[in-house]
């Protein structure tokens, strides 16, 4: 299965949950902004990450968004960042 590029964004109300969520995401993803990460992986790997995050989040208070940008080789056209912390070129995107 080929790698895909994803954007994962979250808003977590509790600092304790925020740290656990961030730790889980950083295993697979690279930070783009404070609560926005760019991930390169297979759909199965992202499904495991989503399962982990669902267990850590309080779904009544927290929010999670996962955007599938498609295959890594074609996602570069869709992903642009201005002054990003992450080296998006390495992940298949462009930094403006």
Q: Which domain holds residue 69?
A: 4-95
Residue 18 has pLDDT above 90, yes or no: yes
Domains contained in the chain, number: 1
Query: Per-residue pLDDT tens for 62-88?
Result: 999 999 988 988 876 666 666 655 555
Distances (CA, A) of 62 to 12, 19, 25, 31: 5, 13, 15, 19
**Once rounded to an integer, what is the mean pLDDT over residues 49-70?**
93
CATH for 13: 3.30.70.240
């Amino acid at each position: 299965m080929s790698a895909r590029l994803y954007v994962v964004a979250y808003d977590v109300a509790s600092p304790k949950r925020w740290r656990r969520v961030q730790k889980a995401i950083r295993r697979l993803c690279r930070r783009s902004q404070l609560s926005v990460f760019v991930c390169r992986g297979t759909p199965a790997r992202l499904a495991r990450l989503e399962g982990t995050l669902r267990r850590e989040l309080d779904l009544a208070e927290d929010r999670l968004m996962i955007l599938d940008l498609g295959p890594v080789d074609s996602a570069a056209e869709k992903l642009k960042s201005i002054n990003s912390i992450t080296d998006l070129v390495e992940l298949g995107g462009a930094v403006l």
